């Protein structure tokens, strides 16, 4: 995919506050993507949102003002919360459809690590 073709498209990312999610958000922001970012780490997510807004204001200063990234503290294991976040996303970006999504949140059932001791010991059925 040509990353320049995603400019002004709405992309939603979970797990955006750190690691692969953060790096993905930074790359997409540099390409002019309209981002809706979610994570359970509120402070890190808020910081990232401000950084990406500043980045886009700098990179696209000669263009019309852009909507800032939407940041939402989200527990991705709640379908209701996820649905609300997606609805907020569409509203935040004035009805633009969601173009793409990346679920980058690392969610592990805490009982797995307590019972088994290692993520390497998790079966496929337990992982889902």
Helix (H) or strand (E) holding 84: helix 79-92
Helix (H) or strand (E) holding 79: helix 79-92
Which pLDDT value is given to residue 77? Answer: 85
pLDDT tens, position by position, 30-76: 999 999 999 999 999 999 999 999 999 999 999 999 999 999 999 99
Q: Where in the sequence is the domain holding 69, given as residue range(s)? A: 3-127
What end-to-end distance do the CA atoms of the chain give, in Å?
A: 29
Q: Are 19 and 41 in contact (CB under 8 A)?
A: no
The number of distinct structural domains making up the chain is 1
Which pLDDT value is given to residue 106? Answer: 81
Domain CATH for 44: 3.40.50.720
Helix (H) or strand (E) holding 10: strand 10-14
């Amino acid at each position: 995919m040509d990353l320049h073709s995603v400019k002004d498209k709405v992309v939603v990312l979970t797990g955006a506050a750190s690691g692969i999610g953060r790096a993905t958000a930074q790359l997409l922001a540099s390409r002019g993507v309209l981002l809706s970012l979610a994570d359970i780490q509120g402070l890190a997510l808020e910081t990232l949102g401000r950084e990406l807004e500043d980045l886009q204001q700098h990179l696209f200063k000669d263009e019309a003002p852009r909507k800032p990234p939407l940041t939402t503290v989200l527990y991705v294991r709640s379908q209701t919360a996820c649905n609300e976040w997606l609805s907020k996303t569409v509203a935040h970006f004035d009805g633009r459809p969601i173009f793409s999504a990346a679920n980058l949140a690392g969610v592990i059932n805490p009982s797995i690590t307590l019972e088994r001791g290692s993520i390497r010991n998790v079966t496929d059925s337990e992982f889902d």
